[in-house]
Structure 1
């Protein structure tokens, strides 16, 4: 089962439940606010240790990569260059957290592809927005559009708890 949503779907899920289609289905809602392209902003890195080579970089211990207000944090993060280009992919492993001003995504591993501005988080994935929580096994998140796809985990299902807007 796959669930598709954008950054405002969790907050507005109760209003759009009628749009959900069960079994391989899509669940989408349009974002009312304009977004700036986070992927156009500089990428900053930090860690307890690491190295930079002509093919990329490796960070270990409290490793983090920040772009705009978004932050990727993990036990280790490795960035690789595409031939003749800047960093093309960033792979995070161990205690992975991707944090935006509105969401927190947690998983075991994440791969950020710079060219598509997409981060794919796998493992025991947990997406939170406020009190709302969605869990699964694989999440794909476009950092520019907020479009999110969640696929089932080991139990074969995605699961969530959503609170209507205005509820305590």
Structure 2
């Protein structure tokens, strides 16, 4: 059975679920053990997943995933996979990554963004069609895409001042 909640009711329901605790035990420990919080204009919960719509976001520690919609898969009581689509932003303290879609498999510690991907870190900018970002090591691997860039990645890097 699917239930539709308002933002406040969804947030309270999700925080009370064993799924949130399971996600903390399985993957959040590697991310510093921080709680996982959710927000959206509307959402649904089923025993196998969550769906957040409209200004959807998931926050853990200093990392934030924002998108038009976010769907989470629950397996064995744990949040195991998150898919985001539409105006996707993955923001860390040092980097902002923008894409059309994102898939985050918590056990892999990797967020994969596709579409017109833009990675910024300070003034540095890297663009391409697909980015794999490791949330544990903070390593990023960009691949070219199709379209205007012709399958190439592009970047602009500014040297650090030697003051």
Matched with 2:142 is 150
* Structure 1 match to 2:45: 52
2: distance between equivalents of 1:80 and 1:150? Answer: 26
Deviation at 1:42, TM superposition (A): 2.4
- For residue 98 of structure 1, the aligned residue among 90, 111, 118 is 90
Q: How does 1:36-51 map to 2 (within 5 A)?
A: 37-38=30-31, 40-51=33-44
1:162 matched to which residue of 2? Answer: 157
Cα distance, 1:37 vs structure 2: 3.4
Superposed CA deviations along residues 100-123 of structure 1, whole A, max 9, x for unmatched, are: 000000000000111111100000
Which protein is richer in helix relative to its size?
2
CA RMSD after TM alignment: 1.5
Q: State the shift of 1:85 in Å.
A: 3.3
Q: TM-score, normalised by structure 1?
A: 0.75
Structure with higher RCO (Cα < 8 A, 6+ apart): 1
Please list every run of 5 or more consecutive structure 2 residues that lacks an aligned counterpart in the other structure: 1-28
Runs of 4+ more than 6 Å apart = none
8 Å contact from structure 1 (residues 39, 117) kept in 2 = no
Q: Which residue of 2 aligns with 1:12?
A: none
Match of 1:63 in 2: 56
TM-score (norm 2): 0.77
Within 2, Cα distance between the matches of 1:166 and 1:64?
35
Of 79, 91, 100, which aligns to 1:108?
100
Q: 1:39 to 1:90 in 2, by over 3 A?
A: farther
